[in-house]
Structure formats: structure tokens, C-alpha cells
Amino acid sequence: MKHKILKMPGLVVLAIAGLTGLWAGCQKDPMNNLTLDETRLYITNYDTTAQFSTYKTFSIVDSVALVSNTQGYNRELTPADQELIQKIISLMQARGYTLVDKSQNPDLAINVTKVSNLYTGVSIYPGYWDNPLYGYWDPFYWGYYGYSYYFPPTYTFYQVSQTYYTIDMLDLKNAAQNNNQIKVIWNAQIRGEAVDDPSAVDTEIQAVFDQSPYLKAN
């Protein structure tokens, strides 16, 4: 599979901000200064042996598969999902492919999956209280002459949520020639903040198609 990653200006800014943070210490988190668009990353992969111009018809799922470590496996059709599916159809047709029902033996099948995971963790900071400012906190004020401060280790609990879309294009036309295996000949991942915002999916799908010019029937 050949990999192609779109380099976005926002990611370059983030990398520079991260280097600045090495010496800036207690500066504001650069992630807070990014727009939602700047947090997004579009990744596409394709089979270099696939002849995309030989495929003429396609079919697409009517709902999105939801994979979640908190909700299990399910299917859904949110407003964002509907917009995303419709945008894929529109761009595939613009590239010369014809939409057909799955019962009509399409050359290509398109699956859409949304992965939504929640991770919980804990961090320990044994040196968190090793702060040079402790010298300004006078223990003598409280009558404890000769005493010093002791700060026990601290524990921080955190949660991280991750939601992203993945789109898979399957070769149904040549399944028999491929030892009855259905090959994925194109894949796209859409990652970043609020990728399932209905107002964002049009731009997101446009982006992954823009960096896949080989996807065309004629």
C-alpha cells in the first residue's frame, strides 16, 4: 500500500510551538491556539496495483459502523453521518463512477466507520511539589522552628476521548480472481477535533478526495 499524508499548515505550527515549549516552560498550551480545522489530519492509503479507471459502479453503506470501547459495536446515522455519506456519493459520481444498489453487483463497495474511544489513566508526580518558591512559605510563621516542608507524591487522573472516521473502498469486481478475498484498495482516515461536526464533514471528505486524484473512472 502506498501512503500519502497531507501536510497541513496547522501541524507545522504545532511542531514549531512544541519546540518553543522546550525552553518556554510554563507557556500556554499551543493546542489551545489551534482552530478546529488546524487540528485535523487527513490520511489516505491505496493499492498501487489497483487500476481505478477499470471500475465503473459503486455502492455505499446506508449507515455508519460505530466502534467504541464504551458503547461496543453498533450502527448509527447521525446528521454528520448522513452528510458524510452523501458527500462521498457526490464526489464519486463527479469522478465518473455510477451509484448502484448493492444487489446490482457493484464493482466497488464503500464502508464508513466511526471509531469513538474513551481512555482513562493516572499519572504520578513525585517531584510535583519540588518548587523553588517553597522558600517563601515561612514555617516559622506557624511556630514550627527548624521544620521544613514535605510534599507527598500527587496523583492525577485523566480522561482522553478520541473520535475519527475511517473510509474503506473494497474491490468486489476482482474478488474471485483474488482467491475469493475482498481487497481494500483505498482507505482514508479523518482525525482531529470535532471531526463528526455536521458543518465539517463536507470539507473533510473533499480533502481526502483532493489528495486522491487517481480515484476516477475516466
For the CA atoms of the chain, what is the radius of gyration? 25
User: For residue 196, what pLDDT is reported?
Assistant: 81
User: For residue 193, what pLDDT is reported?
Assistant: 82
pLDDT tens for each residue of 165-211? 899 999 999 988 888 888 899 999 998 888 888 888 999 999 999 99
Strand partners, 99: 58
Domain parsing of the chain, residue ranges: 42-210
As a whole number of angstroms, the distance between CA 115 and CA 164 comes to: 5
User: For residue 122, what pLDDT is reported?
Assistant: 66
As a whole number of angstroms, the distance between CA 1 and CA 212 comes to: 13
Statement: 42-210 belongs to CATH 1.20.120: no
User: Residues for the chain: how many in total?
Assistant: 218
- Kindly report the pTM of this predicted structure: 0.68
User: For residue 119, what pLDDT is reported?
Assistant: 63
Q: Which residues of the chain carry a pLDDT beneath 50?
A: 1-28, 128-129, 132-136
